[in-house]
Amino acid sequence: MVFLHKCPICGKLTDDEKYRPFCSKRCADIDLGRWFDGSYAVPAEELDEADYEELEKELYNKKDEEK
């Protein structure tokens, strides 16, 4: 008996047993990648010095507001 189910990644109907609920290893890997992405809150971005200065200003401004 074959159970068709929808792959949660690409939405394709599949009866794949090995990678259930996904249709293929590719979609299983994509789902795994999403979980990993979720554990790292913000992707690291390169900041240059001007960005750091802006950030510092913002932080100081916030501190002032809290007083």
SS (H, E, C) the chain: CCCCEECCCCCCEECCCCCCCCCCHHHHHHHHHHHHHHHCCCCCCCCCHHHHHHHHHHHHHHHHHHC
Which residue among 20, 25, 27, 56 contacts Zn ion (CB under 5 A)?
27
Q: Among the candidate windows 15-23, 31-39, 48-56, 57-65, which touches Zn ion by CB under 5 A?
A: 15-23
Using DSSP, state whether 15 is helix, strand or coil: coil
Check residue 28 for interaction with Zn ion (CB under 5 A).
no
| Residue among 10, 32, 47, 59 that touches Zn ion (CB under 5 A) | 10
Is 30 one of the binding residues for Zn ion (CB under 5 A)? no
**Nearest residue (CB) to Zn ion, 5 versus 9:** 9
